[in-house]
């Protein structure tokens, strides 16, 4: 740490990212599904159509990610993170006044702009800039708080919807989101050099070499890695795109847990069954992200395949466990472990393949593949629910795609090892 006993400023940035993950990001993303049954009943819109909310959200994120990536690379990160918080709060206000399907979708599009920055870009980019060591662990901690937030806010939101209605709950979420704005503006810094520092864990020899080359005492340490133009032509890049695309086919299940459980006989006696199961799934996500943050750097491919396997088990249990609340909660937890992969392992795998030199540019393209997968899967699974009147086809399809994703991960590992030789 620079400055004797002073706290390394990078940890303040991590704390701000934890807060924005815990509140606005969790509220905007992890809690989306708890509103579907109430909005459906009030507005007379099918839950399958409401489920396109996630597709619209991811579509908006996908379209804006390249612009957001360039903004984060060239502009003040405080404005990028703070702007995302404001956009999410405004989206909640808009959703509270929704009276038609197009208005609901417009709110989802606005939400996607803010979510894209806080989920895909800000955590991985800023942590990788500030920490040469511990990046995987800290990224896991930050992303785990989307799960912690999901546990807390899915339960709180379910109770609020029952007591004050879905519209007032959306407004409550807007207020909670904007509370994090001061942290985004005063605890975030774009780069260590902005504070006269170097990344945590960078050796003194690297600092000395950079200073000698630059001729100044405040020289920043050059980042190593593959240029984006070269990375975009490498076979491993396309495999990572395929992995991210397919992963998000499996993520869709989470958003439909409340609606699916609302169709079960158990929900008559347990009206909060779906909201509680969403919270349990977020608990699984939290455990998974923390664990992957610790072990993911050392064994990224084995860790990812193992977690995908847990997701398959969770989906199977959701499919067959409709008669037992306990089994459904177990299924939700195990499935939630799978849900923790994307925002921990995808950055780790991308960084291992291409390094840090142009990481934000490369990862924005990788995130686009994830968003495309979310858009496409939302339309496919939403259409299957509307066409069949049930969830069986979605569950079976998700299991198949998860298996293919595991194959893609193993191929990435094999190809990466060959290229490193």
- What's the pLDDT tens digit per position in 181-236? 999 999 999 999 888 888 888 765 555 555 555 545 444 555 677 888 898 999 99
Q: Which two tokens stand for residue 248?
A: 């998000």
pLDDT for 30: 80
Q: Which residue has the tokens 């509370």?
A: 179
The answer to whether residues 155 and 281 touch, using CB atoms and an 8 Å cutoff, is no
DSSP for 354-412, please give it: HBSTTHHHHHHHHHHHHHHHHHHHHHHHHHHHHHHSSSHHHHHHHHHHHHHHHHHHHHH
The two structure tokens encoding residue 321: 């466990």
CA dist 81 and 308 (Å) reads 30
pTM of the model: 0.75
The confidence score (pLDDT) of residue 150 equals: 78
- Cα separation of 367 and 65, whole Å? 8
Annotate 165-187 with b (16+ C-beta within 10 A) or e (fewer). ebbebbbbbbebbbebbebbeeb
CATH tag, 10-199+213-420: 1.20.1250.20
- Each domain of the chain, given as residue ranges in start order, spans 10-199+213-420
Determine the pLDDT at residue 398: 92
Q: Give the model's pLDDT for residue 3.
A: 46
Q: Based on the number of CB atoms within 10 Å of its own CB, is 379 exposed (0-12), middle (13-18) or buried (19 or more)?
A: middle
Low-confidence ranges of the chain (pLDDT < 50): 1-3, 215, 217-219
């Amino acid at each position: 740490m620079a400055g004797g006993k002073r706290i390394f400023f990078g940890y303040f940035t991590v704390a701000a990212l934890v807060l924005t993950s815990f509140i606005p990001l969790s509220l905007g993303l992890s809690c989306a599904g708890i509103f579907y049954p109430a909005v459906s009943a009030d507005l007379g819109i099918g839950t399958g159509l409401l489920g396109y909310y996630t597709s619209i959200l991811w579509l908006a994120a996908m379209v804006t990610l390249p612009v957001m990536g360039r903004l984060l690379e060239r502009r003040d990160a405080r404005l990028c993170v703070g702007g995302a918080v404001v956009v999410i709060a405004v989206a909640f206000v808009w959703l509270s006044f929704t009276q038609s399907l197009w208005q609901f979708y417009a709110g989802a599009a606005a939400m996607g702009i803010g979510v894209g920055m806080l989920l895909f870009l800000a955590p991985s980019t800023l942590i990788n800039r500030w920490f040469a060591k511990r990046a995987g662990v800290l990224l896991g901690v930050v992303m785990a708080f989307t799960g912690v937030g999901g546990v807390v806010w899915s339960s709180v939101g379910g109770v609020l919807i029952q007591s004050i209605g879905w519209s007032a709950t959306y407004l409550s979420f807007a207020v909670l989101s904007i509370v994090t704005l001061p942290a985004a503006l005063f605890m975030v810094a774009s780069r260590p050099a902005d504070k006269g520092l170097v990344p945590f864990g960078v050796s003194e020899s690297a600092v000395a070499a950079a200073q000698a080359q630059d001729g100044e005492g405040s020289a920043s340490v050059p980042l190593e890695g593959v240029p984006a133009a070269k990375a975009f032509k490498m076979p491993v890049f396309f495999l990572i795109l395929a992995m991210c695309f397919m992963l998000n086919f499996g993520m869709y299940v989470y958003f439909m847990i409340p609606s699916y459980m609302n169709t079960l006989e158990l929900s008559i006696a347990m009206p909060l069954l779906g909201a509680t199961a969403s919270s349990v799934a977020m608990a699984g996500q939290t455990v998974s992200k923390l664990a992957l943050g610790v072990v993911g750097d050392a064994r990224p491919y084995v860790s990812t395949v193992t977690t995908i396997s847990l997701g398959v088990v969770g989906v199977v249990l959701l499919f067959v466990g409709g008669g037992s609340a306990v089994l459904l909660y177990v299924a939700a937890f195990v499935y939630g472990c799978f849900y923790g992969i994307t925002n921990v392992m995808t950055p780790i795998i991308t960084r291992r393949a291409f390094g840090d030199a142009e990481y934000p540019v490369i990862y924005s393209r990788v995130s686009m593949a994830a968003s495309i997968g979310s858009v496409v899967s939302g339309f496919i699974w939403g259409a299957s629910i509307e066409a069949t009147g049930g969830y069986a086809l979605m569950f079976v399809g998700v299991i198949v795609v998860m298996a293919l994703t595991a194959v893609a991960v193993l191929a990435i590992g094999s190809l990466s090892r060959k290229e490193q030789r």
